Structure 1
C-alpha cells in the first residue's frame, strides 16, 4: 500500500488568532523556510492593519482631525478599495468605517438594549455623518465621526497575501492556508486529490481547490456582527458561510450575508463571479450549490 502525500504543517499567531499553513509534496526544509518567511509578512500585516496597535497606521487614521490626511500603505489602500466596492454592492450592509459601532456593541456585551440610549444614537449619527476619502496614496478625514476598522476582512486579506508570496516567491502551489478555522484558502491539493477536504460544522465537508471559504458566527460572542445600516447588533443561530475566489472576498461576503435578507444576498452574489453563501437555515445560494457536500469523517483538515 503506497503512502499518502507528504504534508508539512506550520502555525503562527497574528491578528488575534492562529494561522496555519499546510504545504504538500515539498522538501521539509524548503517548506519550513517558506513558512517562516511568510510568517514575517504576517507579523507586518498585523501591525499595518489591526486597530489594536496604538502606534499603528489604523490608530493614526482614526485619530486624524477633520481635514487632516495621512499616507496610506499598499495594504491600507487594498483593504479600503475592497471595502468601498463591497459597501456599494451591498447597499451599505458592509462598511469599513463603522468601527465605532462595533466598539459600542463589543463594550455593551449582554447588557439590555434600548433604542433610546443616547450613546448609541450619537455613535450611529457620527458613523453616518463621518467620511474618509482616499485619493492616490492619501487618505483624508473629510468629516469626523467615523472610525476605520478592517477587522472583518484582515484575516482573509492576510491569507491572500500569504498565498501570493507562497506561489510567486517560493514556487509552492500545493497548499492550504487557514486563519482561526474561520477563513480557509485552498490552493492546489496534494497528490492526485481533487481538492482539500474542508469541514463545515461538525457533520459535513466539501472539497476545495482554488477557492476560499469563510464563516461568521456570534456563538459565545456579542457585538462582533453589526448591521451598519440600522446600527443594531445581529445574532445568528448558527454560522453564516461564504465562498469566493479570494479569502478577503469570502470574508466580506460572509460579513454582509450575516445582515442581508436572502433576496438582498442573492443580488449581491450575482454581482461577482463564483460567489456563494450557506445560510444559518442550511439553505445555499450561488456557486456553493455546485459543490458536493458529504458526511464528515473524524479526521479533518479544518472547520468553518
Structure 2
C-alpha cells in the first residue's frame, strides 16, 4: 500500500453480490485495518446471504416461494430493506416497486436471455405486480403476498443497504477515513488524504461510457447511479436497458443515466432507480421529498448519443470538482460506474478500472495515470486458504455470473 506521511492507503478488492467491491482505508493502524476489512466483508456477506435472488436458501428466496401461502416473518435486516422500499414506493407513487421480479423474469433479465414479450403476456404478468398488493404486519415484521406468483426483487436498494452496514462496521473499529465502492454505488467517510476535503469521485458519461462526464466530492455521504449502459440487450435492433417501469411493464427509454447523492447509501440507491423511471421532471419532487438528496439526470439525444443533463438546484455546484472536461478512459471492461479521482491543482490523479474473468475467477486492476500507463499486478484467489469459494449472488444492477469469491487482496500501489 502507498504511504503518504503517516497515512497508509490500504485496499481490498472482492467479488460479492454479483459485482466488484473495493474498500479503501486511510489509517496508520494496520491491526485496526484488518479488523475493519473483516467487519465490512461480514456485513456484505450477510446481506448477500439474506437478499440474493440467486441463492435458493436466502431469506428473500424463501419469501418469494411461500408468502402467497401465508405471512412470512422477516429478519431485522431484510425488514429494514423492505420497509425502506415501501416508503420510497409510496412517495414515488409506485415508480420504485420491489414487486418487479415477475416482470424482470418475463423480459428475461434474470436469466440473461432477454426477449420482447407480447402485450398479452405483459398484461397477464402485470396482475402480479404492485406494492399495494402486499399485506404487511409491522409489529411482527410480516409480509404476505396478495396473489400467487408475486415475488420481490431488492436489486434497486440492497446494495445501498449493504454499503451502509459495511461503512458502519468500519467506523465501529475506529477507522475514520474510508471509501467503499460496490458495483458503482459508493459511500465515503472522512477524506482521501490528510488535509483534503472528502473523497473526489469521477462519474462516467452514460452516453459515452469510456469518458468522464463530471465529478463530485463525497463528504460523509453516498452516491449511486442507475443506467442501462452496463446491463442491456438488443431487441429488434433496439438497445433495451434492464430498468423497468413497473407501472407500464416495459423498460425505461429515453434516460441514459442518473446519479443521486444522499446521506445514506440505501437512500441514494433507491432514489437513483426511482429517478431513472420518472425522468428529469421528477428532480424537484425528489429534492422536496428528500431535502438532503441531490440528483443528476442525463437524457439520450434523438441520435442516440449523449444528450442533455439536468440537475437539482444545489447539485450544479456539487457535480463539478474542477473537472469540467472529458477525460478519455481506455476501452476496457469497467464494472464500476464511479471512478475515484483526485481533483485539484495537480490535476486528475490516475483512474482505475476493475475487470474480471469469470472462467478462472481472476481479478485484474489496472491504473491509468494522467500521463503514461501502468498496470497493477493481477491478484488471484488464494488456493486452499481464506474463505471458502462459493458462487456470489446477483442483483439486477450487477451480474449473475458464477465466479469464485476471491481472498481479499492488497494492491501494490495507490491510484492517487
Say whether the fold is shared (TM-score over 0.5).
Answer: yes
Whether 1:54 and 2:48 are equivalent positions in the alignment is: no
Q: Return the offset for 1:96.
A: 1.3
* Equivalent of residue 226 in structure 1, options 232, 244, 247: 244
Kept in 2, the 8 Å contact 1:159–1:185? The answer is yes
**1:159 and 2:163 aligned:** yes
The corresponding residue for 2:311 is 284
Q: Does 1:208 align with 2:208?
A: no
* Distance of aligned partners of 1:86 and 1:65 in 2 relative to their CA distance in 1, 3 Å threshold: closer
Against the structure 1 CA distance between its residues 108 and 161, is the aligned structure 2 distance closer, same or farther, given a 3 Å change threshold? closer
Alignment of 1:257-268 (within 5 A): 257-268=275-286
Give the alignment partner of residue 30 of structure 1, picking from 19, 22, 32.
32
Once the two structures are superposed, residues 205-236 of structure 1 have per-residue CA deviations (whole angstroms, 9 ceiling, x without a partner) of 22111111111111152352011111111145
Query: Gaps (5+ residues) in structure 2?
Result: 205-210, 233-240, 299-307, 328-347, 355-416
Structure 1's 46 and 229: CA in aligned 2 closer, same or farther, altered over 3 A? same
Name the Cα RMSD after superposition: 2.3
Separation (CA, whole Å) in 2 of partners of 1:286 and 1:82? 25
Corresponding residue for residue 267 of structure 2: 249
In the TM superposition, structure 1's runs of 4+ consecutive aligned residues that sit over 4 Å from their partners are 107-110
Distance 1:40 1:236, change over 3 A: farther
Contact 2:225 2:269 in 1 (8 A): yes
Decide whether aligned partners of structure 1 residues 65 and 208 sit closer, same or farther in structure 2, where only a CA change above 3 A counts.
closer
Q: CA deviation at 1:288?
A: 2.0
When you count strand as a share of all residues, which structure comes out higher? 2
Deviations 1:72-96 (A, max 9, x none): 1111111011101101111110011
Q: Which residue of the partner structure matches residue 93 of structure 1?
A: 95
Q: SS at 2:312's partner residue?
A: strand
Is the 8 Å Cα contact of residues 244 and 276 (structure 1) preserved in structure 2? yes
Q: Could you tell me how far apart the structure 1 residues matched to 2:76 and 2:314 are?
A: 30
> Is the contact made by 2:255 and 2:279 (CA closer than 8 Å) also made in structure 1?
no
> How many residues end up aligned between the 2 structures?
298
TM-score by length of structure 1 reads 0.89
Please state which structure has a larger fraction of its residues in helix: 1
Q: Is the 8 A contact 1:211 1:246 kept in 2?
A: yes
Unpaired runs of 5+ in structure 1? none
2:198 aligned with 1:171: no
Mark the CA change 1:301 to 1:173 in structure 2 (over 3 Å): closer, same or farther.
farther
> Is 1:195 matched up with 2:198?
yes
Which stretch shows the higher mean deviation, 234-243 or 21-30? Answer: 234-243
Q: Deviations over 1:157-178 (max 9, x none)?
A: 100001111112x011111111
